[in-house]
Amino acid sequence: MTSFRALLSVSDKTGLEAFAHKLVAAGGELIASGGTARKLVEAGIPVLQVEDVTSFPEILGGRVKTLHPAIHGGILARRTPQHLDELERHNIRPIDLVVVNLYPFQKTIAQANVSLATAIEEIDIGGVALLRAAAKNHESVTVVCDPADYEAVADAFAAGGVGAHLRRRLAVKAFQHTAEYDTAIAAYLADQVGDDRPAASAASATALPIALHLDLKLIQRNRYGENPHQQGGLYGYAGEPSAFEVLHGKEMSYNNWLDLDGAWTAAQDFAEPTVAIIKHGNPCGLASADSLEEAYDKAFASDPVSAFGGILAVNRTFNLATAQRTADLFLEVIVAPAYEPEALALLRKKKNVRILLHSGAATRPLSLRSIVGGVLVQELDRSEEDMNPLRWRVVSRRQPGPEQLADLAFAWRVARHVKSNAIVYVKDCATVGVGAGQMSRVDSVMMAGHKAGERSRGAVMASDAFFPFADGIEAAAKHGILAIVQPGGSVRDDEVIAKVDELGLVMCFTGARHFRH
């Protein structure tokens, strides 16, 4: 009589043979289905076919294999006299170990041009039932869904049996695995629904899903949330790689992650070498140039005081020249798509800076924000049509010159990364003053002018939404702004344009706004 019975049915056969050998050596009798059984037979490992246990063949092309009382009775039976007697009356033996991983549904749908029929055939039924049954009865049964756990389980059986703590941990893992699996299926099928989905807006070809399935896993517990009295943590999408890897420094805080998101998104929005320095959710410096080090110099010059303790993101490999320029500046976080080895070595000398590497993971197209009673969902603001100055309407008598138009285009792109009411002063494709988050647009104009000082003379200005009154234009002119880009659309547009012409300024309308709350 063997000491335990194990059922194996795996799609991913990584480490299977070595694991099976260890189980047999520990006194296990193996039962396996389909391809798993063939793999073990080829390796010379003694194994019973599922049909040897059920006395019933696989049917429907393998759709039904393990869905049988001889299998599920052996898994679900509690080790009580009543259940064991009932198993004996029906000639069923208990199963002590269930090893299952599921058909690769997620990998299948990730491939290009996969048909719905193909995806449907990759929906595992029997495997999910086995995992849930074993996990439910983890008081008596060990369930394994990840080859990474093979060694620990095999060692435990060799030592006399799996302890209660490990059985429970593996059960939790199995339920998480099936939950992720079902979430992926539900999300995929919901995306296939066509006619009953809400129509996409005229500005977008993407319809919001009628149901949004989220499966998030804790990546990191933060020391606290925004404040010490709040708990906080970072969660990632299950089954997807983390977007960033911490190469150096202590763990990120809740606020670090928020500012990192803003910095990374802003820097990646530009084609030229770009540096974004973010402080409390807003750019204090953002610049593009022919080289990364020049872009850094210009971004830092935008607001050197606020840059202290900021988050710095770039859209190019972080090079040594740029690293040398940051040597005397305290930064909370630096993030880049790659690092030159010499640059990384130099940056690591800064004890308190956190250095992060972007993994290359794609950004999800939706933004989610919790509110009382629900979650607000929207597409990310990635519009490109209004970013092209050739599509703008020049509404002033004075026409913009080529350099002005380039700065206006840069300022307009920056504005969508600044919290409303957003005003951005720009000169030579670099911010020189930013006004953010004010309740009055004219206050944002004056704040940006205060930050810029004399650098605002001859600069251009972008506003994320229209000017409701001409006072914002007057304030900008006092700071030396020569050209303005804004969406237009106010009932007082004529008054605003008249003031622009009176002051001899340039004004362009984009026809689109970029609020960021």
Tell me the catalytic residues: 136, 280
Q: In this structure, are residues 504 and 498 in contact, taking their beta carbons and an 8 Å threshold?
A: no
Q: How far apart are CA 412 and CA 509, in angstroms?
A: 11
CB atoms within 10 A of CB 361: 13
Q: How far apart are CA 139 and CA 78, in angstroms?
A: 8
* Bridge partner residues of 430 (DSSP): 287
Residue in this structure with the two tokens 């708990």, named with its chain if needed: 231
CB atoms within 10 A of CB 431: 31
CB atoms within 10 A of CB 370: 8
Q: In this structure, are residues 299 and 315 in contact, taking their beta carbons and an 8 Å threshold?
A: no
Closest CA to 434 of 419, 394, 60, 198: 419
Q: b/e per residue, 302-311, with b = 16+ CB within 10 A? A: bbeebbeebb
The alpha carbons of the chain give a radius of gyration, in whole angstroms, of 31
Residue type, 490: S
Q: How far apart are CA 277 and CA 263, in angstroms?
A: 6
Q: In this structure, are residues 66 and 112 in contact, taking their beta carbons and an 8 Å threshold?
A: no
Residue type, 246: V
* Bridge partner residues of 237 (DSSP): 216
Spacing of C-alpha 207 from chain mean position: 20
Q: How far apart are CA 135 and CA 154, in angstroms?
A: 18
Classify 206 as helix, strand or coil.
coil
Q: b/e per residue, 479-490, with b = 16+ CB within 10 A? A: bebbbbbbbbee
Q: In this structure, are residues 247 and 355 in contact, taking their beta carbons and an 8 Å threshold?
A: yes
Instruction: Using alpha carbons, list the distances in angstroms from residue 375 to 201, 211, 235, 382.
Output: 20, 12, 16, 21
Q: Which two tokens stand for residue 486?
A: 């804004």
Q: In this structure, are residues 12 and 147 in contact, taking their beta carbons and an 8 Å threshold?
A: yes
